[in-house]
Structure 1
Amino acid sequence: MDFTFVSGNPALDLAGTVLSRRGDPVDLLTRPSDLERWVAACDGLPDRVTADETALRSALSLREALYRLALDRVLDRPFDPGCLGIVNDTAAGPVPTIELSDTGLRMSGDLRAALSQLARSGIALLADPHACLKECGRPDCTRIYLDRSRGARRAWCGMEECGNRVKAAAYRARRRDAD
């Protein structure tokens, strides 16, 4: 399965690797190789990391902590202390190395550095009082995204997946009612 990066922040995109947390969730990161592919596909992270089962468990722990903290922010409730500890501890890890070359920016590091970068990205987002976080408006989607639209009117995590589904369902309902 291909990964979707529509949340506006890599930490939220990591949290979005569980599709529909209501009902029957689908986890896109079930094997270390899934995590390696996700990190390679995510902008702003080292692209050649290796993962084992222990690293996968660390990444999943970070993912769940980031999701819970983002949901706390969306629901305007205090941050969960255990999740804060996980994110803060992960952020204290090593940072990726960046290099400038003729072809652009290159980032290198191991998986711990990638997870540290994700935790830092999440901290910066969650600490920003002006960041408008929302949960997708499609009932089956639980992805949390950063709404940067004019007037904060964005209703779905992404138009391709969720927005089109909602609009198509509304169109079918109108057609059904017209008949």
Structure 2
Amino acid sequence: MAGTGEGAAGDGAFVFVGGRPSLDFVATLGKRHASPVERIPDGDALARWLVLEGLVPASLPVADRELGRARELREAIDGLVRSTIARTALEAGAIRVVNAVAARPDLPPRLAVDAAGRAVASGGAGSPAQALSSIARDAARLLGGPLAARIKECEHPDCSLVFLDETQSGRRRWCAMDRCGNLVKIAGYRARRARSV
């Protein structure tokens, strides 16, 4: 699902620019470098995010305990992602959190038919704990595989979103060109124009 950059979603709206469920999950806490924006303040918000991410077909009730576990998983993934980007040592505690959640049963895949009559894979019905396990497994596969080197942070100075750079050249710089990329380019243009006047 396409989304906008953090600058446009500062009101707490969900953003889906990471390219992987685990990276989109990290984005549920926005503006990490400034005044953090909690996008899953309650269980209902987490339930909506799970549906919008495509992990489950319908909203599931999320208890406070599960919300706490979700946030713990999100921060563990965030720490591992940022260590991977910076090429620094991974924190053992964060690895334990991801592995513990990933060890639980995850969501079963579900085969559905789209409007054109084609078979499509979609999220299966399950529990919030199973959805979190699916996110943790995605993080483990991503961070432990060859694509880990293609995880980047948006270069907009006010954006903390991370994404998987799937471009052929590997030169993607922004979470979303239509938001952060354009803002930086406009600011650069204005600065150059001010210097030339």
Taking structure 1 as the reference length, what is the TM-score of the superposition? 0.92
SS of the residue 1:134 aligns to: strand
Q: Aligned partner of 1:145: which letter?
A: F
> Is 2:127 the counterpart of 1:105?
no
How many residues are matched? 178
Distance 1:26 1:144 in 2: 15
2:91 to 57, 67, 80: 80
> Is 2:154 the counterpart of 1:136?
yes
In the other structure, the counterpart of 2:135 is 118
SS of the residue 2:174 aligns to: coil
Q: Aligned partner of 2:121: which letter?
A: L
Distance 2:175 2:141 in 1: 20
> Is 2:41 the counterpart of 1:25?
no
> Is 2:52 the counterpart of 1:35?
no
- Decide whether aligned partners of structure 1 residues 169 and 146 sit closer, same or farther in structure 2, where only a CA change above 3 A counts: same
Deviation of the 1:152 alpha carbon = 1.0
1:95 to 106, 114, 137: 106
Distance 2:44 2:190 in 1: 40
Distance 1:102 1:151 in 2: 34
Q: Aligned partner of 2:35: which letter?
A: D
- Decide whether aligned partners of structure 1 residues 22 and 99 sit closer, same or farther in structure 2, where only a CA change above 3 A counts: closer
RMSD: 1.5
- Decide whether aligned partners of structure 1 residues 27 and 98 sit closer, same or farther in structure 2, where only a CA change above 3 A counts: same
SS of the residue 1:105 aligns to: strand
| Percentage identity across paired residues of the two chains | 35
Q: 1:123-174 CA distances to partner (integer Å, 9 max, x unpaired)? A: 0000113431111101111112111112211111111321121122122222
In the other structure, the counterpart of 2:67 is 56
2:24 to 3, 7, 13: 13
In the other structure, the counterpart of 1:159 is 177
Distance 2:139 2:194 in 1: 43
Distance 2:32 2:14 in 1: 16
Structure 1: gaps spanning 5 or more residues: none
Deviation of the 1:19 alpha carbon = 1.5
Distance 2:173 2:94 in 1: 27
Deviation of the 1:29 alpha carbon = 1.2
Taking structure 2 as the reference length, what is the TM-score of the superposition? 0.84
